[in-house]
Structure 1
Amino acid sequence: MGAVLPLLALRAFTETGRLGSLKAAAESLGVTPGAVSQQIRLLEERIGVALFVRGRHGVYLTEAGARVHPGLLRGFDQIEKSLSTLESLAVEKTLTISTVPSFASAWLVPRIGRFSELHPEIEVRVEASAKMVDFKRDRIDVALRHGLGSYPGLESIRLMAPVLLPVACPELLAQGPLIREPIDCLNYPLLQDGDRADWVLWLQAHGVQVGDEARRGMSFEEDLLLLRAAAAGQGIALVQDTHVQEDIDSGKLVVALDKPWPSRFAYYVVTRPDATQRPEVQAFIDWVVAEANSMATLPAL
């Protein structure tokens, strides 16, 4: 047959024999049915043997086709496994972490250097995105997500449960009325989360029954934007303590009233069940859990 194997034609033959349909084989290979048919015809012409017969409900292997199909099917399966192994070898020392932008900026990125110092052999990639992670499709090893911890088919470990704190820039509070009780926050513009729900819940948790006045003000989908607006003196923001510590330490923001309110959501480490078999993944999980456990609470004013 010569040194050059007709791999495209053999692949078209194998998929068509497996699925019993030119159309289904074409969809599996990402080509047109005409292209599959042409490759099979070229293969039959090359070897001088018919491989399929057409029937009312598809195509069927001839006796000759049926004799060689199982071996070719096993061969292509082995090729795919070998290719997957090569790809794994190429990225085995790379750890890709996905988390939401606000958590990445305020909590993970300032700390991740400590992990790299402990494990200089691991190349770390941080992807900041609010979209859901599809572990079957995306090349993500670990996701850090804010939720209730229910992730079907995945392993999740609880990291921390943030609390909500009202914060503002010092200049705004110095020029405005004194805040002694939660209801006093209504004397300032309120910077809202995307659902305009946090202020209402925080006030109600502290015994303040409010109406629409607690839902007014500019709204932002991300805590990062809330923090920037608060630092610019545009109002009081109600944000997670894990997101605001750096701005408090730098003096950009202060806690307007030291009455935190626990959130029912928490941050979780989320992975595939088999991911911890990789030492790089287990090393990161051990580190991030220890880092979360060692977190200091925000200082009271």
Structure 2
Amino acid sequence: MTIPVSLPALRAFVEVGRNGSVKGAAKDLGVTPGAVSQQIKLLELQLGVRLFDRGNREIKLTREGLLLYGNLAPGFQQIDDAISLFADRRPGPETLIVTTTPTFAACWLTSRIGRFSKLHPTIEVRIEITEQPVDLKAEAIDVGVRYGAGKWPGLDAVRLFSPRLIVVASPDLLMHGPLTTPADCLRYPLLHDRIRTDWSTWFAASGVRLPKGTMKGPSYPDDTLLIQAASTGQGLAVVRDVSANDALASGKIVIAIDNSVPTQDGYYAIAVTEKARIAKVRSFRDWILSEASETQRRLSV
């Protein structure tokens, strides 16, 4: 019969046995001595034996403890040895880890990051893509680029862009040129964002009252797919000008009407305050601010 035991408790036991102290085991495991003691007590309860004799200043393995340690320690050593084979693949001091969203990476960052690498050949950039919130303080990430109101308590945030909502379409869809009034958009199929709010925001800011039933049409999870759908002639799409910048420059899409609407939020480069002072982080933020400024200049022309 197999006795159910906790793997963390077994690891704590082996570290206490190896160090000869709870405090030393806690330091190696990166936890508190109290947490180690709790794991040992849990293991003794699960096994029904006492594993250590505890004195005032020392802790020694009992006969049962010695037996268990002798069988467990080689196994954990094998695990440690196997993991150490990958030690050289861990981020080094000149690896810069940047987290951003799929849209920002695909529509803006990826086409420009090569210029940073040329300026700083000793810094290896690793881009991690996620829509989920990331704890910059807890995770090994140097810089985050996120869209929001700029309120990230305890973090150093620098605004990169102040995006505007624009209407884009395939050149083939607008064979007779740009539209004249915002209401003209209602004559075309409308492509929506995931929560179907961007068109409502754009129409409201443009002074258009929408009749019921006019906001039909497919929705897409991000600007990347909206731009792709618009470029194939599926309809008009409201996207952020920063997202559309490269696609507009390539001619895949065109601005459907000369009427843009400002957004309340923006894109920010975010870093833990202590990390913001590190040279590689400063270099990246200086570079991305310069690139953002150039993009903003082009968009305002």
Per the alignment, residue 64 of structure 2 pairs with none
Structure-1-length-normalised TM-score: 0.75
Whether contact under 8 Å (1:26, 1:36) holds in the other structure is: no
**Residue 240 (1) aligns with residue 240 (2):** yes
Shift of 1:21: 7.7
**Residue 33 (1) aligns with residue 47 (2):** no
Shift >6 Å, 4+ stretches: 35-40
Whether contact under 8 Å (2:20, 2:58) holds in the other structure is: no
**Structure 1 spans left out of the alignment, 5+ residues:** 1-5, 45-49, 52-61, 67-85
Whole-Å separation in 2 of the counterparts to 1:20 and 1:124: 36
Which 10-residue stretch deviates more, 149-158 or 203-212? 203-212
Q: How do 1:110-189 and structure 2 match up within 5 A?
A: 110-174=111-175, 179-189=179-189
Structure-2-length-normalised TM-score: 0.75
Whole-Å separation in 1 of the counterparts to 2:272 and 2:261: 32
Shift of 1:178: 6.9
**Residue 9 (1) aligns with residue 17 (2):** yes
Per the alignment, residue 58 of structure 2 pairs with 65
Per the alignment, residue 59 of structure 1 pairs with none
Distance 1:203 1:283, change over 3 A: same
Per the alignment, residue 298 of structure 1 pairs with 299
What secondary structure sits across from 2:245 in the alignment?
A: helix
Distance 1:159 1:114, change over 3 A: same
Per the alignment, residue 220 of structure 1 pairs with 220
Identity %: 35
Deviations 1:253-278 (A, max 9, x none): 11000111111110001111111232
Per the alignment, residue 208 of structure 1 pairs with 208
Deviations 1:113-143 (A, max 9, x none): 1111110000011122211112244321100
Shift of 1:20: 7.9
What secondary structure sits across from 2:122 in the alignment?
A: coil
What secondary structure sits across from 1:199 in the alignment?
A: helix
Q: Size of the alignment, in residue pairs?
A: 255
Deviations 1:37-61 (A, max 9, x none): 89972xx5xxxxx31xxxxxxxxxx
Whole-Å separation in 2 of the counterparts to 1:146 and 1:208: 27
Whether contact under 8 Å (1:202, 1:261) holds in the other structure is: yes
**Residue 18 (1) aligns with residue 33 (2):** yes
**Structure 2 spans left out of the alignment, 5+ residues:** 1-13, 27-31, 60-86
User: What is the root-mean-square deviation of aligned Cα atoms in Å?
Assistant: 3.3
